[in-house]
Structure 1
Amino acid sequence: MVTVYDPFDPQFLADPYPAYRMLRDEDPVHRHVSTRNGIPPFRVLSRFEDVWNAVRDTETYSSAGGLTFVPDEIGTLGLAPTIVMLDPPRHGQLRSLIAKGFTPRRVAAHEDAVRGFVRGRLDSFAGRREVDLHREFSSTVPTFVLAEMLGVPAADRARFDPWVAALTALQDSGFDVAAMSAPDAVAEMFEYFSRLIGERRREPGDDLISALTTVESDGELLTDWEILGFCFVMVAGGNDTTGNLISHAVMLLDTDHRQRDLLVDEPSRIPGALTETLRLEGSVQGLARTTTRDVELHGVTIPAGEKVMMLYGAANRDEREFGYTAEKFDVTRPIPRHLGFSSGPHFCIGSHLAKLQSRVALEELLARYPHVSVDPASGVRLQSSFTRGWVSLPALLRQPSVRLWR
């Protein structure tokens, strides 16, 4: 039996879902062997219940070895000990401190600024019929919000672009670090944020970095190195994921105009539509863990010390969890649980922020251009084993006229 799963193959990345279905049905504990970039063999979990249980079992599936196929991604990139690469108990201690600077109240306080920015972007499209939805709209929202929350001065915000570009290129290369500028970008990013952290320790402001420099629990403060790790996670993990959520929502709504019109008429349904988007076209398709002991699953033994890819993108389309319509887009679908933000101790700490940005972006876009359409065939997809998204997504800004049912 041959399962067509190759996370480095552009054809697979263009449409991984048939392979995901095959994995779920025929090979739920797949062993992938690749000769590319020195990546050792690793296992792949694709069924919802298996992935759900694994990401919640941090004693068996450890994050400390990194979240990718790369054997030593932390050392290779010179990363700080980011929260996503820690196990309990330190993970819980660090998360409790960071969460105090990331409360729903602090996130909600940014809504007016986000809405103002989004409206400004839409204003800039006046008189235009065609735009690049992803480059000119979706991806700009999280970059603005990230800089706002971290307290990055407006004059320095252009610095984010090359950092994000280098990290995106690293994913595109299949983590061929030798060929990319990612280590230099990480070093430059850390140098910049180190200076900013020092300034905030001396003169705190009303921003997230200031909050992280002052928050404490039982007399414990976050170290500069730990705050740097969090800044890296925000830039590397919170930027393109949210932008891709927005673009994917518009893309899926353009495949069913009845559902799009439902959201135009009832904007209160937008949060549910975004959850369905995350389920069906998750920005994060999967992340890896490392087993700490031998694991028996579906008659297969996964040995201790082996990397295991948790395929959220496959699990979120599992008919065993979501029924026979699992691969259909339905904005009215009840979704008691999903893996769009992972689950368990590593549930995305920025989920409230991602929901706020994407909700506001979709509310304003559909209010202004309810018939917006996109052209995925002319778009450029991100070539990443882990992140499903766009580099470019052309769109037509159709003005309201008559409804065209598709």
Structure 2
Amino acid sequence: MTYDPFDPEFQRDPYPVYRAMRDHDPAHRHTDPPFWALTRFDDVWQAVRDHETFSSARGLTFYPDEIGTLGLAPTIVMLDPPRHGQLRALISKGLTARRVADLEGLIRRFARHRLDQMARKAADCEPVDLHRDFSSPLPTFVLAHLLGVPEAERARFDPWVAALVGLQDNGFRFAEGAAVDAVAEMFGYFSDVIAARRREPEDDLISALTGVDGLSDWDILGFCFVMVAGGNDTTGNLVSHGVQLLDGDHAQREVLCARPELIPGALIEFLRLESSVQALARTTTRPVTLHGERIPAGEKVLMVYGAANRDEREFGPTADRLDVTREIRRQLAFSSGPHFCVGSHLARLQARVAFEELLAAQPEIGVDAARGARLPSPFTRGWRTLPATGVRPARTARSRAGA
């Protein structure tokens, strides 16, 4: 068994290697770069909830200084309690459940607009790409709106997002050139926005955060960074992978079309089977012994969510199969413990609305994964392009009259 998270063939289908690691090498030592990899559900579950042993303060990849490369201070995801909890509580005052819920109408209109465009492209015999035309633009649009980027300036926002996501996907290992310039431009822009909102608040998340006592400009800027880097491609890939999984099991797709109330639970099942975040690292603060292996203090330990989420020890003999009615007792779709995803309710809202609208308008949509292009990342699992199949052209797409 060879575990090489950089290998394109592994990235295409990592699951046989994950199974072998879970069964035969659950505390795997990787030499170049040096790190350990945990692949069983219970090991990952316990580790992410034990910040005293597995610290986030030295970064979330297996590279030694991923964030320092850009000359930035640690963000909320790179802090341990108690500071992490204090900052999270303050940020939560701005990113309230009500603020997120109020976005539903906006998200639904955008999803319908994109689906209408896809149907028109199909009518004109133009190729439709699920990821580029629907899944990826949705969270980018929502983040731009949430952060108060005016519509006239959103053309600038897209390349910033692409640059930051690309840098994160390689662990900031290649932080140079145009990508760094784009990120620097984005940070300069949001620094100006924060200053402007402190002078004159508007109805956006940054304004809400500037009104929270105890949040510095850097705290807010760092949160913008986390939202863009962690909430954009992960949500888009949840949607694309969900469609791919349903296309692989039409009986499950029929169940979901007939019972849309199952969509919220199905989203967790999609993330379980195709985890947008495949793995993130912690650093040991003291020696740990797991499965007969002694992991010294100061070692990088990779939490392989993509393997843990398919562990038969937790999810039973059908762990590799899609079941939109599955009752999940514990799950790592959004991690767990202190670093449970702060934007999980926003991601779930976007994905729920996306699937409600997608399955209503295009119930037979599928994908041609063989012609798609995957993200070449050891940390996230996703798509750059994913051609769509079975798209109903505009003349036969389901009418939305009265919707």
1:268 corresponds to: 261
Report 1:341-380 matches (<5 A). Answer: 341-380=334-373
1:95 corresponds to: 88
- Asked if the contact 1:81–1:225 (Cα under 8 Å) also holds between the matched residues in 2, the reply is no
Relative to structure 1, the CA distance from residue 177 to residue 205 in structure 2 (aligned partners, 3 Å threshold; closer, same or farther) is same
Secondary structure of the 1:54 match is: helix
Report 1:281-296 matches (<5 A). Answer: 281-296=274-289
Relative to structure 1, the CA distance from residue 179 to residue 128 in structure 2 (aligned partners, 3 Å threshold; closer, same or farther) is same
TM-score using structure 1 length: 0.93
- Asked if the contact 2:252–2:322 (Cα under 8 Å) also holds between the matched residues in 1, the reply is no
Q: Cα deviation per residue 1:238-280 (whole Å; 9 max; x = unaligned)?
A: 0000000000000000011111111111110111111100000
One-letter amino acid matched to 1:305: G
**Shift of the alpha carbon at 1:165?**
2.2
Q: Cα deviation per residue 1:94-134 (whole Å; 9 max; x = unaligned)?
A: 00000111121111000001001111111212333241000
Distance (Å, rounded) in 2 between the aligned partners of 1:293 and 1:388: 30
Distance (Å, rounded) in 1 between the aligned partners of 2:109 and 2:181: 34
Is 2:196 the partner of 1:224?
no
Secondary structure of the 2:118 match is: coil
Residues matched between the structures, number: 390
Secondary structure of the 1:243 match is: helix
2:313 corresponds to: 320
Relative to structure 1, the CA distance from residue 115 to residue 317 in structure 2 (aligned partners, 3 Å threshold; closer, same or farther) is same
Q: Which of these residues, 142, 153, 160, is aligned with residue 157 of structure 2?
A: 160
TM-score using structure 2 length: 0.94
One-letter amino acid matched to 2:14: P
1:186 corresponds to: 183
**Shift of the alpha carbon at 1:171?**
5.2
One-letter amino acid matched to 1:355: R
**Shift of the alpha carbon at 1:81?**
2.2
Unaligned runs of 5+ in 1: 35-39, 402-406
1:210 corresponds to: 207
**Shift of the alpha carbon at 1:364?**
0.4
- Asked if the contact 2:37–2:301 (Cα under 8 Å) also holds between the matched residues in 1, the reply is yes
Secondary structure of the 1:127 match is: helix
- Asked if the contact 2:167–2:175 (Cα under 8 Å) also holds between the matched residues in 1, the reply is no
1:238 corresponds to: 231
- Asked if the contact 1:78–1:186 (Cα under 8 Å) also holds between the matched residues in 2, the reply is no
Q: Cα deviation per residue 1:349-396 (whole Å; 9 max; x = unaligned)?
A: 100000000010111011001011110000001111111000000002
- Asked if the contact 2:237–2:381 (Cα under 8 Å) also holds between the matched residues in 1, the reply is yes
Percentage of pairs with the same residue: 70
- Asked if the contact 1:163–1:185 (Cα under 8 Å) also holds between the matched residues in 2, the reply is yes
**Shift of the alpha carbon at 1:398?**
3.5
- Asked if the contact 2:118–2:133 (Cα under 8 Å) also holds between the matched residues in 1, the reply is no
Instruction: After the TM superposition, list the runs of 4 or more consecutive aligned residues in structure 1 that deviate by more than 4 angstroms.
Output: 171-175
Secondary structure of the 1:66 match is: coil
